[in-house]
Amino acid sequence: MANAELQHHLVNAWSVGWALYIGTVTVWIVLQRRPPLSTVLWILVLALLPYVGYIVYYFLGPQRLKRRRIKRLRSRLLIASQTERALLREHEHQIPPTVARMAALGRTACDIPLSSATDVRLLVGGAQTYDAFVEAICAAREHIHVEFYIFDPDRIGTAIRDLLAEKARQGVAVRLLVDALGSDRLGRRFLAPLREAGAQVGFFHNVRIGRRWRPVTNYRNHRKILICDGKLGFTGGLNVTDDEDERTRPDAYHDVHLRIEGGAVRWLQMVFLEDWAYATKQRTDDRELDALLPEMPPGEHHVQILTSGPDDPRQAIHRMQVAAIHAATERVWLTTAYFVPSEPALMSLTSAAQKGVDVRLLVPRRSDSLVVTAASRSYFDELLEAGVKVWEYQDRMLHSKTLLVDDTYSFIGTANFDNRSFELNFEVMALVYGETMARQLGRQFELDLRQAARVAKDRETPFPRRLFDSFARLFSPML
């Protein structure tokens, strides 16, 4: 009898404790004002997994993001004087009112003003892009800043490493920043020649217990940036890997990159310097500023560098692309490796098509993620119903991330048209205004369509695939 009463009291105590726990964590999470679906999911996780769920929430949930934002703010303050110098060196630009409003939105969303370039070139494929990298690195005299999500110790990675080491031995300041997850194959032996030559190496979101233990998937640095002497810069979709070099692999990813000369490069430089300060806690000496941010004359091409990441709730890239699509009057041509749009992004595409804009979407027939490919397919019916024309790239894995709106807005960079790029990754895009880049990007889009098959509105899809696609879509917020 005593044992039964003891068990009854223990059950009651556990029930009261569990209720208090649920009430406490519910209030805690609700007060953070996260999106409703996210809030409910986290409450369920913590309710069903009281101890494990709390650990997951602490390391992966919004509190971790809050800590990242605080750390990111510190790195921003570290380079505040350098940012002020960059702003002082920017010129006034005479632009049409519509472009001025878009540029103002970009500045408000990510604190980077409209700039200019003396030359902008679209690079297509690994061979052309890596050759341009090598040429730029060989010509550098002051510094070389390299930032990539993936830098593999393979044929092209070794070639670039050896070239960087040679430049470091010549007295050029070389800094290499890579993402700890994307570049987890880089080991001490591979990096030794760089460090011995005097180059500096940093890892973004590294882990203390050893890089062979994979760090968390979220909050990755997906940016790809190369800067030489502060005057020549590159950004786009290509990583440093044989997977994107058709000279090494016939099935290499199909991708594009952008080469920029002129004043806009200073804003790629500021993105790198902030990421470097954040990852390494090293502040660049102000005495280097003349070399890092050289004076450059204004150019004829208007360019705005856009950044976004989990540290900034303004979602500049997402916001700017949706705004550009809403402003479209003639065409919206979108190429993306992963198509898992937010509700506002999806509505912008369907609304543009419904008002008569030529909206085209090009995605890979099969990406390197089975679940993402399935989730992408789940959106095809509503896109086609609205009048959006959809193509699947057949030849190889399509890895490009571009958006062309009318003859006015050309987006080229690292962000896919998906929730992970919009919210969870650190991304960078170059928005080039005007017809010159629009012609280049439009011509390449039409060439890519020759390797693609158009998705028919009345196509037949087997039930198992439709079911799998629908289930994959449930995970869209996390893909």
- The pLDDT tens digits for 60-111 are 555 555 545 555 666 666 566 677 767 767 777 778 888 899 999 999 999 9
Q: For residue 410, give the 3-state DSSP assignment.
A: strand
Long-range contacts of 166-172 (CB under 8 A, 24+ apart): 166/197, 167/137, 167/138, 167/140, 168/194, 168/197, 168/198, 168/199, 169/197, 169/198, 172/140, 172/141, 172/142, 172/143, 172/144
Q: What is the mean pLDDT of the segment spanning 212-225?
A: 73
Under a CB-based contact definition with an 8 Å cutoff, are residues 296 and 377 in contact?
no
Q: What is the mean pLDDT of the segment spanning 272-297?
A: 85
Convert the pLDDT of each residue in 377-390 to its tens digit: 999 999 999 999 99
Convert the pLDDT of each residue in 359-376 to its tens digit: 999 999 988 778 888 888
pLDDT score at 211: 46
Per-residue pLDDT at 213 exceeds 50: no
Q: For residue 393, give the 3-state DSSP assignment.
A: strand
Smallest CA-to-CA distance from 234 within 87, 122, 152 is with 122
Q: How far, in Å, CA of 424 to CA of 421, rounded?
A: 6
Q: How far, in Å, CA of 164 to CA of 193, rounded?
A: 9
Tokens of 433: 């205004």
Q: DSSP letters of 156-170?
A: HHHHHHHHHHHHHHT
Tokens of 316: 């500049």
Q: Which amino acid is at 103?
A: A
User: Dihedral of the CA atoms 292, 298, 302, 306 (nearest 10)?
Assistant: 20
Q: DSSP letters of 12-50?
A: HHHHHHHHHHHHHHHHHHHTTT--HHHHHHHHHHHHHST
Q: How far, in Å, CA of 330 to CA of 365, rounded?
A: 26
Containing H/E element for 67? helix 62-78
Least confident of 213-217, 226-230, 449-453: 213-217
pLDDT score at 284: 75
Containing H/E element for 279? helix 265-280
Strand 331-335 to 358-364 pairing: parallel
pTM of the model: 0.87
pLDDT score at 212: 45
Confidence grade of residue 214 (pLDDT, cut at 50, 70, 90): very low
Confidence grade of residue 34 (pLDDT, cut at 50, 70, 90): low
pLDDT score at 466: 78
More confident residue, 91 or 127: 127
Spatial strand order in the sheet of 402-405:
115-117, 301-308, 427-433, 409-413, 402-405, 331-335, 358-364, 389-393, 452-454
Convert the pLDDT of each residue in 148-195 to its tens digit: 999 999 999 999 999 999 999 999 999 999 999 999 999 999 999 999
Between the CA of residue 471 and those of 128, 185, 346, 376, what are the distances in Å?
39, 32, 18, 12
Under a CB-based contact definition with an 8 Å cutoff, are residues 284 and 277 in contact?
yes
Which residues form the catalytic set?
A: 222, 224, 229, 399, 401, 406
Under a CB-based contact definition with an 8 Å cutoff, are residues 391 and 452 in contact?
yes
Convert the pLDDT of each residue in 233-256 to its tens digit: 999 999 999 999 999 999 999 999
- The percentage of residues in the chain with a pLDDT greater than 90, rounded to a whole number, is 62
Q: How far, in Å, CA of 279 to CA of 87, rounded?
A: 24
More confident residue, 442 or 297: 442
Per-residue pLDDT at 275 exceeds 50: yes
Per-residue pLDDT at 355 exceeds 90: yes
Under a CB-based contact definition with an 8 Å cutoff, are residues 478 and 340 in contact?
no
Confidence grade of residue 432 (pLDDT, cut at 50, 70, 90): very high
pLDDT score at 80: 64
pLDDT score at 142: 96
pLDDT score at 452: 96
Average pLDDT score over the chain: 87
Confidence grade of residue 146 (pLDDT, cut at 50, 70, 90): very high
**DSSP bridge pairs for 301:** 117
Per-residue pLDDT at 207 exceeds 90: no
